[in-house]
A = this chain, B = another copy of it.
Amino acid sequence: MSTVSQEVHLVARPDGLPTSEQFQLVESDVSDPAAGEVLIQNRWMSVDPAMRPRLSNGQQPINQVISGGALGTVVASRNDRFKEGDIVQHGSGWREYHLSDGSDLDHLDAAGYPETLYMHVLGTTGFTAWGGILITGKLQDGENVFVSAAAGAVGSVAAQIAKLKGCYTIGSAGSESKCDWLRDTLGLDVAINYREGVLRKNLKAAAPNGLDVYFDNVGGEHLDAALPRMNVFGRIPICGMISAYNNFGAISTGVTTLANMVYQRITMQGFVVWDFNDRKDEFLDDMRGWLNSGKMHYEETVFEGIESASEALIGLFTGQNTGKMLVKLA
Contact A252 to B261, CB < 8 A, known contacts A266-B269, A266-B270: no
Q: Mark A263-287, 1 if CB is under 8 A from B, else 0.
A: 1111111111001000000000000
Question: Which residue of chain B has its CB nearest to the CB of A262?
Answer: B270
B267 touches A262 (CB 8 A): no
> Does A258 count as interface, using CB distance less than 8 angstroms?
yes
> Does A168 count as interface, using CB distance less than 8 angstroms?
no
A20 to chain B, nearest CB (A): 24
With A and B bound together, what is the CA distance between A262 and B128 in angstroms?
12
Total interface residues on A, CB under 8 Å, equals 33
A267's contact among B53, B223, B254, B268, by CB below 8 Å, is which? B268
> Does A251 count as interface, using CB distance less than 8 angstroms?
yes
List residues of chain B with CB within 8 A of the CB of A245: 259
A252 touches B244 (CB 8 A): no
Question: Which residue of chain B has its CB nearest to the CB of A230?
Answer: B270
B-binding segment of A4-12, A201-209, A233-241: A233-241
B258 touches A252 (CB 8 A): yes
List residues of chain B with CB within 8 A of the CB of A219: 258-259
> Does A3 count as interface, using CB distance less than 8 angstroms?
no
List residues of chain B with CB within 8 A of the CB of A239: 262
B262 touches A251 (CB 8 A): no
A244 touches B259 (CB 8 A): yes
A241 touches B267 (CB 8 A): no
> Does A255 count as interface, using CB distance less than 8 angstroms?
yes
A174 to chain B, nearest CB (A): 19
> Does A185 count as interface, using CB distance less than 8 angstroms?
no
- What 8 pairs between A and B have smallest CB-CB spacing? A254-B254, A250-B259, A261-B270, A262-B270, A241-B259, A268-B268, A238-B261, A244-B259
Interface residues of A (CB under 8 A from B): 53, 219, 223, 238-241, 244-245, 250-272, 275
